[in-house]
Structures are given as structure tokens and as C-alpha cells.
Structure 1
């Protein structure tokens, strides 16, 4: 990080906007934004014409406080977002909601004589269970006849990945980690099925869009930008809202999306497991939890009334999507569901690998009180060849407490995984309860353990050595 003239740390992700930048104030321990004089007129209009109040009052745009103003700069402090997440960690419905929010803000800006000049997914975050726009400097004056400057960005960051997920795979969003500015339109045009050429919307906004971009890239002559009346621009945005709203995907059954329909617990055992976990969370006074392998979020929701915040991750995009939708339906606002593979979490990307921090780096700043790792260890060890030491040492660096469920080799799910090892099965002879407990004692104190009645599994409450 580079030091700003205020003694704060300018965020490595904040260098693309010529009108200002974001920095971390070491004194207040908050993220703040500097606005440069080149944006003063737009900022004044945003604050005075009613647009800011409308967006902030409805929870569409983060609120902020003006801390300092001179002829050289303004400093504002926005609402603080506890955990920054990225679109390559989002499920279909969350990305869809973020796209609709972006279009709604673009429409509202027009109604107040302004336009939304940026439509990147990085300007949207998940806050209190719903997407919120975080970039106060993304508004400009509307000029009659001007097309939507952020159209291409919206297509790359939102429309393209949504279509990729709908027609190909729900894991498509994970590929965005390789495309910081969204999917290139020629790439998306090439992977979508032939039948999408018969959709007027997709034909125009993907296939013809890609063709025009290719033509403009090979033609060195300057082309005039076509004019677009305000009425036509409003119609275009309405049409995009209608289409994005209509998007859905075929709900194919995945390995984990129906996991809780095929558990090794009786209903009574499942209830006991839930009660033990809730009691242990209360016992240690945990307020911020990371639920690893959360599946559809059953246990995250079960303990949500006991804690302040839960970060719920899983490798399965369909399960996370179901979790996001259930949280919305039940109005659970403090559970953050993300697509994260613990064996290959989101890496640091961008310029000098510093623009977008890795998932683990962001997690380390969350002050996690307890990690919840239920029905997970057999997958890490038997499917991914992780050792007990690797798993336990990783969790120890994240949190002082760990609630972990040991699934023994005689469990039917573990037996399936071991059977796949065939001639190399003997390499996993280390995988048994006694060895697990010995490994735990290298990193943690075993505060409690509870056999789950009616199953072969055991829950452990562990406290890290200081």
C-alpha cells in the first residue's frame, strides 16, 4: 500500500478512477474516500438534486459522512462493509440481484438528470443480506443523446456470466477470477449454444455486440458514436431489466445440493447435533463464525440467532444459490453465502496481485471467533489428500476456536471415498479417530467432544494453543 498525504494506506484496488481514491485511515480504523476537485460539480449535484437521498434511503447506495472539504480535496467516510466479496464468489441469484440493482440505479440516475458511468461488479457488495452499490463517484451529468457509457461493462460483468451460468455451468462465475474486467464478448458469443441466436435480446447484446467490437478493433478509422435519445435509453434499460429478471437456470441435482436429504443421521440425531453446536457457540461467546462447507446453510441459519455474523462457504454453486435464496426468504441478513473451495480459495489477483486480496487474506481481517467444519474432514483428507496437520494448522491461523465433526472410515460416506482409492487405499490408513485426536492436541486443547447418537460421528470443540 502507498501512503496517502493523510497518513492512511491507499488501497491497491483504488487507482483507476481519476476523480478520487479510497484509503484506509489508520487512526479511525475505517475506510474513507478522497474526492478530487475534478468531481466537485458532479458530487454537489448528486447530493443536492435528491438522487443520493433517494438511493441511500432505499438501501441502494451506501450512506456517507462528509468529514473534510477544501479547495484541494474532500474526504468522505462511507458505511463500512465488513467483508468485501467479489463476483467470482457469488451465486447466480446474487449476481442477478446485483445486475438488477445496477440497472435500477442507472434508471434512477437518468430520472435525476445524471447517468451511471460505471457498471462493474466490483461496485456492488453484499451488505445485510442484499446487494448495495458502494461507489459514490460513479455518477456523471447526463448529456442528451449520449449512449450509456457503462453498457459494455455491464454486459461483460453481469450479462455474460449470467448467460454462461444459465446455458453452460453454474460454476462459470469462478472463471471470472481470470477476467478482471468481465468476460470478453467474443468469448461468451463463442460458448453460448446456437439457439441463443434466436433470442432477439441475446442476439443484439451478445452476438452482434461481439461482432461490432471485433470490427472496431480491426478497423483503425475513428467511428462516430451513435446518438441515443433519453427516451430510447430508458427503454433500453427497461428491456434489460425485463430480460435479466426473466433469467433462471435448470436446477440440476448436484453432489451436494441435496446433501441433507441423504445424511447418516436420524431426525433426533440431527436435532442433537444442532443443539450441541448452538450450546458450544454460546459457551465460547462466539459472535463471528466461518461455516466451512456450509452446503445450503442449515447450520448457519440454525445458529444465526446466537451470533452477529456468519460467513458461509461451500464449493457447490447450486447449494450456495439455494442458501442465498433461503436467507432472502427468511429475511436472515447476517449470513454471507459464498462459493469458495477451501482447497483452492480465491487467489489475490490484479496488478502486482494486490488489487483484489485473496479470500484467506480477507478472512484473516474478519476476527473470526470460531470456525465450523461439519461433515468436511473426510472430503479434505480422502478426496483431496490433505493431512490432519494441514487442516488443523490452517484453521488455527483463522480462529482461536474450532467446532469440527470427525467422520470415521466406517461411515458410509467415508467408505465411498475410500473405495475410490482402490490400490492406494492403504495410504489412508492414518485416517482414524485416534490419529485425529493426536493431531488435534498438537494445535488445540480439546474442550469437549460429543458422540452424535445414532451415528458413528463425533463433534469436537477445540481451543487453539496461545
Structure 2
């Protein structure tokens, strides 16, 4: 029997499909289903292909639950993903692996009589370096003669970004961040004119797709479906399309780009003693507090300290600005089978804002990233000097990521350090009079209890362990 739902909180990103809606209740992730969706779920749950996907971890764990909230016919309980990220925070290879998983699920679903209602990149999340399909409500029985309803979304949020990255070498994170629905075919058509039309996948999925959309602009969805049924469109043709997309996506690799940050561990000026001392300090600092449920490594570079943090946390989100560095880190974590470190592309001076409908459909990074442990190593000077962010705001912002009692491990790079000298070389004299260790310590002490301080052997960098609100 349906029960009052006063303890349920609706997920702002789940409203586009009226057949189901995602809710939160404490730490639980729940999904309400209407009568039709409930019947489809029970058919899906009894299918062999879906059971296999669940067992392999390719679809998020899902079971039927109770009590059923008022207004719904059934309730599902989903596995909780450790950290929700957005496609514009993923590297090229992450986006490609997410696309391949979506296509694999569709390929095994079609012969069993199921398809997906949509093809959005937002239907996928991550367990560390493993993609996982989360939109169980998108899986629905195939209707004879109908095309894959998710093709356009798949192109706009997954395939087109991959084409831009593989063929033009573009970092597509800003493109995806700008539009929640992805990149339109007309935009792609202008970028892939002339000889570029012949690049793999471009003519069929950009120009021909765009021409079909324009040709059917005045036709209703029912009219298009009727035309396809009359033309003999079948599940076999849909399956052939999916297999062709899989072959194409596998080819859309991107050659590593030259980047200063890729070789940062060699060029950053740390001595071997500095590195060893810093690693010991980070490990001891995290071990000094309770085990973290979530740890953030802000400015993670190649993930050296994210791996240290993983020994003291259930899950680590490693944030780095350079897409090529994140891609290299992701490939390494994937090869290791790492499921507890999630690498993300993000400029800390311009972090992901809220987006989509009313600005809350896709939550801002600061609203998702409340952590029990925060690493900000060699970050403060890049924000305060490299990006001209006032030092009080940098300290306040970094401390704000920690929940009350959280452990913060921060590094202050002194004005005399060669790296600061490089940053100051193109700045007017006297622009940063407050960038001093004493001022940094005063600001930090106003927000936290500073538990420990250690100068690195070279003498121009200091590490701090602090407790938020302590």
C-alpha cells in the first residue's frame, strides 16, 4: 500500500521522465515507478541479460523496496554512487569508456526485447575508474518498428564530443558544460565542413543525421515511426547500428597532448627529500583523524597523493585542471583496476557551477564535495598569485570543502620559492603584499585548529595539518 512520502527528498536532476522519479531518504537512493514502469521493471528484473549486467557491476545495484510512496506503484532502491560527477568533468578516455558501456548495454538489451529511452551521458556514473549505468528507469521494452529513441542524445552528449577530441584535438569540457543537452548537429556540421566530412563517423552521424533532422522538422514523432515501420525498420537494423557505433567509438582515441603539467613531478622543483617528507606527512596527517568517507585531492596532478589518501579513505576524488593529465591518470587507474579513486577535470579557479533547469538540475561542485579530508598541496600559490584570487578567499574556500571536524592538509609555497618566482615574473611589482606565511597562518587559524606544521627540507614550502572548526 502506498505510504506518505514526507521523508523523501526529490532529486533535482530527475524530472524529465514522468514514469519514474529519483528520491533521497537519508543515504538511500530510491526511485518511484508508475504502474507501467513498475510492470516494465518486473519484466526487466526477470531477464537474464539484466541479471548478468548487475552481476558484472555494469548497472548500479537495484532491488525492489517498500513502503511504496504515495502516487507511485512501486519503489526501487539503488546502490549509492560514492560521488556524482558530470560529463564535462571527465577526460576523453573516460567519456569514450562511458559511451562504450552505454552501447554495450543497448547491444545486449535489444535481442532480449529491451532498449533505452534515451542516450544521455548523464545516465552513467563512476566507481573510481569503472563506469556504471545508473538510469535503470531508461530500460524499456522494444516497440516494433521504432528507432532507438536515445540516438540523438547519444550523439550530442557522447559521440560528438569524442569526434571533436579525436579528430580536432579539442578539449570538450567547456562545450558540454555550456549546454546540458550537448552539442547540436548544426554546430558540428560547421566544424566538419569540406574535407573533414570524410573523417570516420562524420558524414553518417553529423551530416546525414543533421539532414534527416531538418527533413523531418515538421513531421511528428508518430509520423517518423510510421515511416520507419513501413520501410521495414527492425531490431536487427537497430542492432547493426549499435555495433557500428561501437566500432567507431573504439577508434576515437586521442593522442596525448604536450602539457607542462604532464611532467610536473620532474619539473616542479621538489627534491627527493621533499617528496619523501611530504608523502610521510600526508599519510600521517590522514591517519591521525577518523577514516574519511570521502577525501578530496585538489590539484591532484598525476594522483601521487590521491593514492596515499586512498589508504585512509573509502573514496577519493582527484581534481586536476589539465585534461591530458587527468586522462593519463584515468588510464593508469583503469589498468590497476582502481575503484576508489575518481579523477576529474576541473579548473579550481572556475569550478563546475550549478546547471540545467533552475541551475540545480546539475549540482555545482561545491555542493557535491563536502569531504571528511581535503588535500590542497601546491595549490594556494596557483590560486592566489597565478589567478589573482585574494588569499583570504583562497583559505576560506579551501576550508569550506571540509565538513566539521574534517582533516585539511595544506601546503604554503613561500614567496622565495622558485615556482612563486615564475608566477610573479609576469605580474606587476607589489601586487601581492599579503602573500606571506604569517598571514596565511593567521587566516587558517581563524577557520581551523592548526594541529601540525612542517617545513620541507628545501625550506621554501610548509605543510599544515588542520581540523575544520576545531
Which TM-score band applies after superposition, normalised by the shorter structure? Answer: over 0.9
Listed as ranges, the matches of 1:353-392 within 5 Å are 353-364=359-370, 368-392=371-395
Structure 1, unaligned runs of 5 or more: none
Deviations 1:85-108 (A, max 9, x none): 110111111111110000000001
1:80 shift after superposition: 0.9
Deviations 1:169-216 (A, max 9, x none): 553123212211111111122223644311352211112212322333
Say whether 1:323 aligns with 2:345. no
- Secondary structure of residue in 1 paired with 2:420: helix
1:344 shift after superposition: 1.3
- CA pair 200-5 structure 1, distance change in 2 beyond 3 A: same
Deviates more, 1:210-219 or 1:154-163: 210-219
Say whether 1:451 aligns with 2:455. yes
Say whether 1:266 aligns with 2:266. no
Deviations 1:368-410 (A, max 9, x none): 1221111111110111111221111122222132211111122
For 1:235 and 1:219, how far apart are their aligned partners in 2? 25
1:286 shift after superposition: 4.1
- CA pair 297-225 structure 1, distance change in 2 beyond 3 A: farther
- Secondary structure of residue in 2 paired with 1:207: helix
RMSD between aligned alpha carbons? 2.2
Q: TM-score, normalised by structure 1?
A: 0.92
Of residues 39, 49, 52, the one that matches 1:51 is 49
1:218 shift after superposition: 6.6
Contact 1:291–1:373 (8 Å) recurs in 2:
yes
Which residue number corresponds to residue 39 of structure 1? 37
Which residue number corresponds to residue 137 of structure 2? 137
* Number of residue pairs aligned between Structure 1 and Structure 2: 457
- Secondary structure of residue in 2 paired with 1:369: strand
Deviations 1:217-256 (A, max 9, x none): 3779955543423222222211111111111112111232
Contact 1:168–1:192 (8 Å) recurs in 2:
no
- CA pair 186-284 structure 1, distance change in 2 beyond 3 A: same
Listed as ranges, the matches of 1:258-297 within 5 Å are 258-287=263-292, 288-297=294-303
- Secondary structure of residue in 1 paired with 2:265: helix
Contact 1:89–1:174 (8 Å) recurs in 2:
no
Of residues 300, 306, 318, the one that matches 1:300 is 306
Which residue number corresponds to residue 156 of structure 1? 156
Listed as ranges, the matches of 1:25-424 within 5 Å are 25-26=25-26, 29-68=27-66, 73-192=73-192, 194-199=194-199, 201-217=201-217, 225-226=227-228, 227-287=232-292, 288-364=294-370, 368-399=371-402, 400-421=406-427, 424=428
For 1:118 and 1:462, how far apart are their aligned partners in 2? 46
For 2:162 and 2:385, how far apart are their aligned partners in 1? 33
1:339 shift after superposition: 1.2
1:130 shift after superposition: 0.7
For 1:301 and 1:170, how far apart are their aligned partners in 2? 29
For 1:22 and 1:457, how far apart are their aligned partners in 2? 47
- CA pair 426-305 structure 1, distance change in 2 beyond 3 A: same
For 2:200 and 2:237, how far apart are their aligned partners in 1? 17
1:306 shift after superposition: 2.7
- Secondary structure of residue in 1 paired with 2:22: strand
For 2:159 and 2:418, how far apart are their aligned partners in 1? 42
1:73 shift after superposition: 0.8
1:4 shift after superposition: 7.4
Contact 2:175–2:182 (8 Å) recurs in 1:
no
Of residues 398, 405, 429, the one that matches 2:433 is 429
Deviates more, 1:4-13 or 1:371-380: 4-13
Contact 2:167–2:199 (8 Å) recurs in 1:
no
Deviates more, 1:130-139 or 1:394-403: 394-403
Structure 1 moving runs of 4+ over 4 Å: 69-72, 218-224
Contact 1:186–1:211 (8 Å) recurs in 2:
no
